[in-house]
Amino acid sequence: MRLANTGTQPLVNWQLSWTESNDFTLSNSWSGTFSVAGRVVTVLPMSWNTSIAPNSAVEMGMQMAYQGSKPLPTNALVPGQACTISVVTSR
């Protein structure tokens, strides 16, 4: 996944959260500190990517297991920022 700063000021000490549409188990993640509460995933920055400059992005990822259809994220939130989420899958 990619968190892009399309604003004019650095995005410092960012936090990203979203809700998955069905149950899942997070088995691995990278480039962020991931936590799970029910279906809500929250990602905090690592020490080396706490600031995202304007017109830049941070890339991070995760591996998850789920039953049924692929979970589709909703309710994407970066506190204090307008946020949209796009889903791109790879197989």
Query: What pLDDT, on a 0 to 100 scale, did the predictor assign at position 7?
Result: 87
Report yes or no on 64 lying in a domain.
yes
Higher pLDDT, 45 or 79: 45
Residue 7 lies in a domain: yes
88 in a structural domain:
no
Beta-bridge mates of residue 18: 41
Give me the half-sphere count of Cα atoms (radius 13 Å) on the Cβ side of residue 45: 15
Predicted confidence (pLDDT) per residue in 8-23, tens digit = 999 999 999 988 888 8
Domain count, the chain: 1
Is residue 12, in this structure, part of any structural domain at all? Answer: yes
Which CATH number do you get for residue 35? Answer: 2.60.40.290
Distance in angstroms (rounded) separating the CA atoms of residues 10 and 12:
6
Residue listed under structure tokens 């995202």: 52
Which tokens sit at 9? 């000021």
Distance CA 5, CA 27 (A): 27
pLDDT-derived band at 77, boundaries 50, 70, 90? confident
Structure tokens, 67: 């039953």
- pTM reported for the whole predicted model: 0.84
| Structure confidence by residue, pLDDT tens digits, 32-69 | 999 999 999 999 999 999 999 999 999 999 999 888 77
Higher pLDDT, 25 or 71: 25
27: in domain: yes
- For residue 48, give its domain range: 2-77
